[in-house]
Chains A and B, each alone.
Chain A
Amino acid sequence: MRLNGRADAIVEGFTLAPAEERALVDACLAGDRGAFDVIVERHRRQVYQLCYRYVGSHEDAADLAQDTFIRAYKGLKGFKGQSSLSTWLYRIAVNVCLNRVSLKTPRPEALGPQDREDGGAERPDTVLLREERAAEVRAAIRQLPPKQRATLILRVYHELPHEEIAGVLGSSVGAAKANFFHALANLKKLLR
């Protein structure tokens, strides 16, 4: 499976069948650099968003997402296909974020439209209010304990089942569900 030059033709976020994912990984392991480009193109947004929700800064999220893909590339032999490629990448991203969060106090999130797409045809004050509320929620999420934060992000935004979240975090399914409950309860308190 040669994919050089095809990366730009791949639709971002379109789900591949497990066999296609396996073929992509095998092509990459066989030295096809274009295959890894395809993996990056397909998953970069989701990985970036996961990192952003963790750290709340565009610059840090970009660094963490880049680190995630570099680690994924170097550890590609470790992908056995037992989970989807996206879940495997989330696992790496969560570990990268957990390590980073333990080392560094997150920067406060910058409000403003710099380096962002504009809000379309919405009224500016509506956009501003919505962005402020979203920033409050994201800031509250970042105050959650690390594993609760990871659980909430993976469950709410990436819609991973509790079984896969348990796999990502190396915990039991029951612990993943309990983490989710406590994350919601704590978030409720923080948003009062």
Chain B
Amino acid sequence: MSHLTDLELIAAIEDAADRLPAARRRHLDACESCRGRADDLRGVIVAAADAAVPEPSPLFWQHFSARVRQGIDGSAPGESAHHGRLAAWLTQASLRWGAFAALIVVVMVAGVWQVNAPSKHTSSQAAAERAAEWRRTHPLPDPAEPNDLDADPAWAVVRTVADSVDWSDAVVAGIDAQPDAVETVARTLSPEERSELVKLLLAEAKRKGA
């Protein structure tokens, strides 16, 4: 007959041997190996039971009750019946780290979305509104006819300077515009503004020794 299983041994050492089937009890009585294993386990229980916990001083218990009282001060009993379960769930180390990682991901995704996603009031809409406002407050001089612009000697200076600038240098310098953008903007300038721009460009050209 086979030896006692682990669970049968537990039953045997816990005074529950009478719950074992008769055949198993007979085996236990007859089998030296099983009796030896059962005696070993009983010996471990006795050794463990003898290892008492050092008793703290009586003063400790007074302090302990005071500490607990202080810990629950201001809170109502049972106030975290639901929160408590959540807290217990979150305090499991692996889950806490998981929740923390998930929080980081959520924050990152939210950040990226905030930066990239079009807002309800998009930047292009806002720009269009600002442009419209600008147009209302700064009425254009009679739309400059292309011919008028070309005939403007000041604008000729601007064009000359612009022609000498390498496009890649302009991009590196942070000037990144669509083709014809400069002309489009120049048409919106008043003659005084255009004249001021020319002065600035000439001064800059002199400073660089151009």
Q: In the complex, which of the residues A49, A74, A184 contacts B75, with contact meaning CB atoms closer than 8 Å? A: A74
Q: Does A52 contact B (CB under 8 A)?
A: yes
Q: What 0/1 readout, one digit per residue, does chain A (74-114) give for beta carbons within 8 Å of chain B?
A: 11111000000000000000010001001100000000000
Q: Does B112 contact A (CB under 8 A)?
A: no
- A177 near B65 with CB under 8 A, answer no
Q: Does B78 contact A (CB under 8 A)?
A: yes
Given A133-B51, A187-B48, answer yes or no on A115-B57 (Cβ-Cβ < 8 Å). Answer: yes
Name the interface size band of chain B: 35 or more
- B91 near A99 with CB under 8 A, answer yes
* Residues of chain B contacted by A66 (CB below 8 angstroms): 64, 67-68, 71
Q: 8 Å CB contacts to B: which residues of A27-80?
A: 28-29, 31, 33, 36-37, 40-41, 44-45, 48-49, 52-53, 58, 62, 65-66, 69-71, 73-78
Q: Does A152 contact B (CB under 8 A)?
A: yes
Given A78-B84, A116-B57, A181-B9, answer yes or no on A191-B47 (Cβ-Cβ < 8 Å). Answer: yes
Q: Which label, helix, strand, loop or mixed, suits the secondary structure of the B interface?
A: helix
A185 and B40 CA atoms in complex are apart in Å by 9
Given A65-B64, A115-B57, A184-B45, answer yes or no on A73-B77 (Cβ-Cβ < 8 Å). Answer: yes
Q: 8 Å CB contacts to B: which residues of A1-49?
A: 7, 28-29, 31, 33, 36-37, 40-41, 44-45, 48-49
- B56 near A48 with CB under 8 A, answer yes
* Residues of chain B contacted by A128 (CB below 8 angstroms): none
Q: Which residues of B contact A (CB under 8 A)?
A: 6-7, 9-10, 40-41, 43-45, 47-58, 60-61, 64-65, 67-69, 71-72, 75-81, 83-85, 88, 91-94
List the 10 closest A-B pairs by CB distance, nearest first. A77-B78, A137-B51, A134-B51, A77-B81, A75-B84, A74-B80, A181-B6, A76-B78, A102-B93, A70-B71
